[in-house]
Structure formats: C-alpha cells, structure tokens
Amino acid sequence: MSKNQDIQIYDTTLRDGTQGEGVSFPVRAKLRVTEKLDQFGIDYIEGGWPGSNPRDMAYFEAIKDLKLTHAKVAAFGSTRRANTAVEEDAQIKLLLDAGTPVVTIFGKSWNLHVTDVIRTTLEENLAMIESSVRYLKAQGREVIYDAEHYFDGSCADPDYAMQTLEAAASGGADWLVLCDSNGGKLTGEVGEMTATVVEKFPHLRVGVHCHNDIGLGVAVSLAGVESGATMVQGTINGYGERNGNANLTSIVPNLVLKMDRETSCAANISKLRDLSLYVDDVANLRPDSRAPYVGASSFAHKGGVHADATAKVSHSYEHIEPESVGNRRRILVSDLSGRSSVMMKAREVGIEVDSRSPEMKNFLEELKDLEFKGYEYEAADASFKLLLKKFLEGMEPSLELLGYRVTVQRDNESGKMGSEATVKLRVGEDVLHTVAESSGPVGALDQALRKALEKKHPSVNDVELTDFKVRILEGGLGTESKIRVMIESADGNEIWGTVGASDNVIDAAWVALRDAVEYKIQLID
C-alpha cells in the first residue's frame, strides 16, 4: 500500500448525524448542506434513509435537480428482510426509487444481533446480505456494504463475521465498510482487524465507520486508515447518536496535514472552519469552542508565557498554522496575562504602547483588579478592546448613563410576562429619556438603550443580541461581585462579546449591553 493512497471521505451528517440529540435538518437545509459538502470536496454524501420519514423521501426527490460537481449521493438502508424475496422487499424498492448512483446497505456481522435482534438464522442472514447486494448491483448501483458491529462481531465469532463480508463480496459489493457501531473499540483492535480484512480481500476496497462512545472515534478511524482502509465515514462536527460519530473536521485535517494522505478535500482544507460553522448554523447548534482545528479555542493562548513564546515563534505552542484550516490565533487576556498578552491585544486594535510605560503598568493593575471583581475577558474581546482604548488612549465614552428603571409584570389571566425599561442618558450635549418594552427585562433595557442612540448613531439598530449568559460567582473566591453577565452581539458582519459584573443581574447586564453598543459605535463604524 502506498502511503499517499487516496482516501475517500464519506459524509453521513444528513443521516447518521441526525440521530444525534438535538440535531435536525429540514429538507431545504439538507440541500444547502449537500451543496456545501460537495464544494468542500466530500466524495460521498449519505442523504438519508428512504422510507424512514417523509423528509428523506422529499430530499431524494429534490436532490435529482441539484447539480453537484464532485460528490456522489448515497441512499441508505438495510438488507432485505428475512425470508423475503429481494425483489419483493419494500425497503429495497425504496432504495432504488431514491434514484441515487450509490446505495449503502448495512447487514449484521455480530451473531448476537442475528439470533437475538432480527431473530433469524445465521445462514439466512448470509443469504440476506448476498442477495441484497447482488440485486442492487444488477440495477446498476455502486454498492457500499456497511458491516454493522463488525468489530464486536469479530471478537465474538471471527469466523462468522468474516463470512458476512464474504457474502457481501460474493454479491459484488464495491466497498466493505467495517463499523464500530457501539463505539467502544480501541485503536489496536480496529487496526488489527482492519488489516486482516484488507489482506483477505485484496481486490476490494475497505472502509471504516466509527462512533465516539469512548472518545476515540477519530483515533480508531485513523487506525483503520493506517491498516489499509481507503474510505473513512463520519459526520461534520461529530454529530450522531449517543456520543456522536467520528468527527470529519478532525479526521480530514489529520489525514491531510499529519498523515500525508491524498483526499479530494485537501485543496479546500483552508475552508474547514467555515464548513464546520456553516453546518452548525444550519443545524441551529452552538459551535464547540474546544473542537480540534476548527474551534474558537483551538489556537487561543491565555498564559503570558505561552502568548510571549507564540509571538516570537508561532510553532512553539501551535502544531499547525491556524490559517491552514481557516482558523486564527487568539490571545486571551485574564489575571494570568502578562505584558506580552496585553501588547498583542493592543496591536489588534491599532494601539502601540511601550510595554514598560507607566500606562501599561497601571493598565495591568486595573485589569487584574477588574478580574478580581468578577470580570472575565476571555470571551469578551469587545469589552477588553474598549478598556484598552479608554485606558491607554483616553478614548471618551459615547454615552453617559444618568439612570435607568426596569419593571417586570405578569398577567395572571394570560400567563404572559412583560417588562418595561426607562433609560436616561447624556449623549454629547443632549440628555435623552427613552422607554421601551419587551418580554424580558434585559430585552427591554437593550431596546431602550438603542432607541436613545438611534438618531445620532442609527447603526446601533443593526446590532442584535445573539446570546446571553449569566453566571453566579462562588462566594468563597474573594470576588466582590456575585454575578457575571456575558453577551454576544452581531451586526450581520461581525460577532463580538462583552461582559458586565455586579451584585445585581440587571446592572451587570446593563454594563455588557452598554459595551456592546459602544463597540459598534467606537470601533466598528
């Protein structure tokens, strides 16, 4: 086997991924994701299980009109039912009606599942596999055979597990894919068993399909590749049942950047983070900030020593260049930060200052004091940049709070909640007094603030509060503040975070809301 042998990437986000808790894609969303996967260079896209739900049926009908440039779409299903002629099996017919060039079917490799789950004989199971593959091949389809629970089955009865693969091979399968369906195998086990299958079937292509139940989904998939597998199945962002499937946003860069393997995705590897964020957005899920390669924290440096070393030699604390996967380096500022971290953040906002200046010394002292009081700037870059500008450049605020009042009301008859906020501000020479209503107190305060500013700064109406988090700080930590509020805002082009801390949740929210609009006015517009 050549080290640079081409590896086929098979994406099952739209089928296996949707079995994950909280993951769902409407038909239109599935089509959008399909296009995005195709553009990225994914070789096979598993669109769904025809007949399992109306959504998948609608998808396969719509996909016929979608012009893909590279990927092949696969319909997924099982072998025929026991003691049923393959030509009469309703599910096999639906697979063909889907009209896809590729059909992926799974069959039982573990004798436990044969006798105790589908409750047929070992001999009939072999016949089900062979006849299903043969029939689908006769209809002109490329057939990928997923050997469900292959590794568990091989541990229980290696001879029978191998017989199931022989049945699929006899039927004419194009691929034999070994599945760690329970996600419980170690790398050594998967590697050894995969190597045995590759040696047994030198004329067939072998793949792996692994789950992440013990946190090794990516590792065992790569172990399969090391042992000769030339297809890896997985999902974007690791979506999937239980603990998820093997994560393609880790597998693909590891194959390309670490293992020197050829994939069709290699040319687009710099778009990996964009793909990850896109799929999360379509699925309406929050991105995992700690996801390898694509997470916001993947190249985030908090400790002063780390930040200083990275500034001098990037690979001293980074295993790759962040830009190679579409990510970026971030310097986090906290009470662990030193001058180097602050200097790097200052340069981000165009501030050049002598690291040994009194201003820098005073700023560091102020920063540590604020963090002691409950402020945290790791996810609040906007608040930190405003603080830098104020402290080191003397930037004046665009608004001055004179006072606010927030009321909350519940209508017992309707059960509806409502809030009203009154805000009094000084903006330049003007004193502005505004009132706004919303379903909650923070929303009302946000609306009143922007209403007061919209005449002089109409762009504040573009700002949308996209996330709101409250943390009650532990009293035993010596912090004076008891509540921290983190707010994420966006204007369609940029996303930024702000923070407020107080012994009152509304007041903490006010500080974060104020910084959100200040950032828009002072540093974006």
Task: Give the pTM.
Answer: 0.74
Residue 246 has pLDDT above 50, yes or no: yes
pLDDT at 12 (0 to 100):
96
CA dihedral 509, 514, 519, 522 (to 10 degrees): -170
Ramachandran area for residue 492 (φ above 0: left; ψ -120 to 50: alpha; else beta): left
Q: What is the pLDDT of residues 340-353, one digit of tens each?
A: 667 777 776 677 77
The DSSP bridge pattern shows strands 495-502 and 483-490 to be: antiparallel
Confidence band of 299 (pLDDT split at 50, 70, 90)? confident
* Token digits of residue 88: 């009469």
Confidence band of 334 (pLDDT split at 50, 70, 90)? low
Token pair 């949308």: residue: 464
Q: What is the pLDDT of residues 116-141, one digit of tens each?
A: 999 999 999 999 999 999 999 999 99
pLDDT at 2 (0 to 100):
44
Report phi then psi at 148, rounded to 5: -65, 140
pLDDT at 208 (0 to 100):
98
Q: For residues 111 and 109, what is the distance between their CA atoms, to the nearest angstrom?
A: 6
| Burial call 42-80: b when 16+ CB within 10 Å, e when fewer | bbbbbbbbbbeeeebbbbbeebeeeeeeebbbbbbbbbb
CA dihedral 314, 215, 223, 328 (to 10 degrees): -20
* Token digits of residue 20: 């994950």
Q: How far are the Cα atoms of 80, 109, 234 from residue 176, in angstroms, in the given order?
A: 18, 12, 15
Pair 8, 230: CB distance under 8 Å: yes
Determine the 3-state secondary structure of 117 from DSSP: helix
User: Which residue, 321, 238, 311, 323, is CA-closest to 273?
Assistant: 323
Provide the 10 A C-beta neighbour count for residue 170. Answer: 14
Beta partners for residue 177, in sequence order: 146, 207
Q: For residues 245 and 210, what is the distance between their CA atoms, to the nearest angstrom?
A: 6
Pair 129, 168: CB distance under 8 Å: yes
pLDDT at 346 (0 to 100):
75
User: Which domains are present in the chain?
Assistant: 8-282 (3.20.20.70), 300-365 (no CATH), 400-524 (3.30.160.270)
pLDDT at 308 (0 to 100):
59
Q: What is the pLDDT of residues 132-169, one digit of tens each?
A: 999 999 999 999 999 999 999 999 999 999 999 999 99
pLDDT at 482 (0 to 100):
79
Q: For residues 421 and 47, what is the distance between their CA atoms, to the nearest angstrom?
A: 48
pLDDT at 150 (0 to 100):
94
Mean pLDDT computed over 481-488? 85
pLDDT at 474 (0 to 100):
62
Confidence band of 481 (pLDDT split at 50, 70, 90)? low
Residue 303 has pLDDT above 70, yes or no: no
The DSSP bridge pattern shows strands 72-78 and 102-108 to be: parallel
Q: How far are the Cα atoms of 35, 283, 295, 298, 389 from residue 380, in angstroms, in the given order?
A: 34, 25, 16, 17, 15
Question: What DSSP designation does 53 have?
Answer: -
Beta partners for residue 211, in sequence order: 245
The distance between the two most distant Cα atoms of the chain, rounded to a whole number of Å, is 89
Poorest-confidence range of 258-262, 302-306, 360-364, 416-420? Answer: 302-306
pLDDT at 62 (0 to 100):
92
User: Which residue, 490, 500, 504, is CA-closest to 469?
Assistant: 500
The DSSP bridge pattern shows strands 142-148 and 175-180 to be: parallel
User: Helix crossing, 122-138 with 90-97: angle to 10°?
Assistant: 30
pLDDT at 309 (0 to 100):
61
pLDDT at 293 (0 to 100):
92
| Percentage of residues of the chain with pLDDT beyond 90 | 61
Ranges of beta strands (E only) in 22-82 are 44-48, 72-78
pLDDT at 377 (0 to 100):
80
pLDDT at 68 (0 to 100):
93
Residue of 394 and 275 predicted with greater confidence: 275
pLDDT at 337 (0 to 100):
56
Residue 519 has pLDDT above 90, yes or no: yes
pLDDT at 321 (0 to 100):
86
Q: What is the pLDDT of residues 24-67, one digit of tens each?
A: 888 999 999 999 999 999 999 999 999 777 888 899 999 998 89
Distance between terminal CA atoms of the chain?
57
Beta partners for residue 267, in sequence order: none
pLDDT at 424 (0 to 100):
95
Residue 475 has pLDDT above 70, yes or no: no
Query: What mean pLDDT is reported for the chain?
Result: 88
Residue of 402 and 481 predicted with greater confidence: 402
